Structure 1
């Protein structure tokens, strides 16, 4: 593209969001894999988020739990693993090699070096890198034999996983770490193990572990360009600051990936420069009709970038985010966040619209229908976000 960059205003950004993020009615997906592929990554720190984020985007959400579980634990078309910012996500299986090479390698090297250093210092030199290599090989062999296993099961096969060492002696946060918990995390970011089926229901945070499926090694720069192209297609336009935040990469890596992927610069509101994927700089059609959605805490749409003013009024932030910047459950109307929701102990889905001044009867009816749709497929399961926010707490207690 030559000449001045094309301008993409807030209205067009909201239209792209509704269509690309599978939120507008006609854009909803037929399968969990389609949702994950469209979003690139489903935030997995809170296990319930994966299911709720998928259910909100399926045309038919009635069997959301069974379909997501089948994709994760039977078909393995979706994989739960560490990714950007050292955070757990659920990715399409075909993207795991790209994520690992673009992001995981640097994180993994630092995580392993940190474990070796902390383990030696906290054990008086008793637990060495060579010792860890032996324990690791034994644990991975046991995991391969079992197929899936909890940490407790693995420690039965390899008792040395129970070894402990002091951490941060003399600091305010000093404590005792167990080799098993640190080692499994390192193996996770190295792409050698993944989380398997949970011990409890789909909302449980206690997971079994499994040996990661093999994937081909990729040159990191090539992988970063590939991931950049995928993310801009799903979420663009985005600023350089958005991209650095989402990936956790260095600025030089972000700029290199933008150049290598052929990303195109566009103009955003307030004179800000953004980027879209190559060939995606043209205008997009509006969704066929206004849309409503109830998205869960940590949903990838509001959590995909730090710049949210074009879809979220700053006045709503204190009620919808915790002190660490984690978003709670949100209510959307036609590309904007207009409120929040929660589930009461009796299972009722309740919502409030602090920004309801400009929301009419059509919106209220559509939001009520989404709340009922959510209640119907969640059934008797009780959902409490892992990171609770002021409005969610207030609504849940009413």
Structure 2
């Protein structure tokens, strides 16, 4: 059993996640971390840029032109951007699990609204919406106008006394099932206004669905190569799956047992038997919910004690600044679009200079645009509050 030190794990982040050296293109940048978080539309662009240095036009082409990167609701009910060749695996495993959960909740809420057979009613609404999308793709607003039943008001999810139109929830069920995908974007690159499109229309053909066991096996195989060594708990969290599903997938992959620096049992990809070492320093500025920041449940080896400054109570992280495999700060934009690094610990001259160089590159990439995030790190919120109160910005 091989022991993998924290130093080696940090070197692996630089190499495997394409942060120490850029990939050849957008698709390779996505594969470097299995898939990209896509909760915020801008994060897809910023995560791809950090790993490939691609401009916005090239990233948009991968999403909407070549369609080699596909957005899909999957693990932990989160939207991800998958390589197109991983779509069938996610669709049959993590996404299918979410679809079942969403459908069951929708059925329950329909019956709370007085519909006697909630399951049949939900199936009818899904069929009507899918037929309308196949006839002509559309945004949620457009589809509600074309399919009046999608405006039916039932109990809102988690709020039984509040009634809300069912349309968005029906479309979310279809999206989780993989019947429809987020096709073109009716908004700007940094906002999400998906044009719902049937999967066979968007990709040219239906890519199929791997069965649950095979789907999890493929997701775990790719995660192990990018994020390994990782623990069983890391995978249960990342997949939003059961321990039974994870243990079976690890066995199916033939994962190699390993040991972390503190003695915790972990797993490696079966072909990952060489020590990974990285010569030279590297710096990176990653966006909200970047897959590197969010890839493990146990984060001390790259996060240290900084979680309260960067993560909210639900475990979501805002933008992060990295130096040699550790998070050493966050970053924000000034009103003129200039990117500013906000350290959360003392930085060496080399680290400060490298991060400032990254900030200058990212400022040029933004080209004057300012992108808001819904996940402002606590340390930045405090900074904003001090500025609003007329105090010194501080760090």
The alignment's TM-score, normalised by the length of structure 1, stands at: 0.91
* Other-structure match for 1:280: 272
2:333 and 2:247 map into 1 onto residues whose CA distance is 42
1:264 and 1:172 map into 2 onto residues whose CA distance is 45
Alignment of 1:208-247 (within 5 A): 208-213=195-200, 214-247=206-239
Alignment of 1:256-271 (within 5 A): 256-271=248-263
Q: Is the 8 A contact 2:329 2:342 kept in 1?
A: yes
In the TM superposition, what whole-angstrom CA distance separates every residue of 1:6-26 from its partner, at most 9, and x where no partner exists? 11100111111100000003x
SS at 2:93 equivalent: helix
* Other-structure match for 1:252: 244
SS at 2:285 equivalent: strand
Is 1:88 the counterpart of 2:84? The answer is no
1:296, CA displacement in angstroms? 0.8
What is the Cα-based RMSD across aligned positions, in Å?
A: 1.8
Which residue, out of 8, 11, 18, partners 2:7? 11
SS at 1:204 equivalent: coil
1:126, CA displacement in angstroms? 6.2
Is 1:31 the counterpart of 2:21? The answer is no
* Other-structure match for 2:390: none
Tell me whether 194-203 or 91-100 shows the greater mean CA deviation: 194-203
* Other-structure match for 1:157: 146
Q: Is the 8 A contact 1:329 1:392 kept in 2?
A: no
98 and 162 in structure 1: CA distance in 2 versus 1, 3 angstrom threshold: same
1:83, CA displacement in angstroms? 1.1
* Other-structure match for 2:62: 71
Aligned pairs, how many?
381
The gaps in structure 2 that reach 5 residues or longer are: 201-205, 388-392
Q: Is the 8 A contact 1:139 1:157 kept in 2?
A: no
SS at 2:67 equivalent: coil
Is 1:324 the counterpart of 2:331? The answer is no
* Other-structure match for 2:126: 136
Q: Deviation above 4 Å: which 4+ runs of structure 1?
A: 394-398
1:37 and 1:104 map into 2 onto residues whose CA distance is 18
* Other-structure match for 1:340: 330
Q: Is the 8 A contact 2:129 2:171 kept in 1?
A: no
In the TM superposition, what whole-angstrom CA distance separates every residue of 1:271-314 from its partner, at most 9, and x where no partner exists? 1111000020221231x420000111111001011211111121
Is 1:107 the counterpart of 2:101? The answer is no
SS at 2:302 equivalent: coil
* Other-structure match for 2:179: 192
The alignment's TM-score, normalised by the length of structure 2, stands at: 0.92
1:376, CA displacement in angstroms? 0.5
1:395, CA displacement in angstroms? 5.0
Is 1:379 the counterpart of 2:383? The answer is no
Q: Is the 8 A contact 1:344 1:395 kept in 2?
A: no
The gaps in structure 1 that reach 5 residues or longer are: none
Is 1:118 the counterpart of 2:109? The answer is yes
20 and 162 in structure 1: CA distance in 2 versus 1, 3 angstrom threshold: same
2:186 and 2:62 map into 1 onto residues whose CA distance is 17
Q: Is the 8 A contact 2:319 2:330 kept in 1?
A: yes
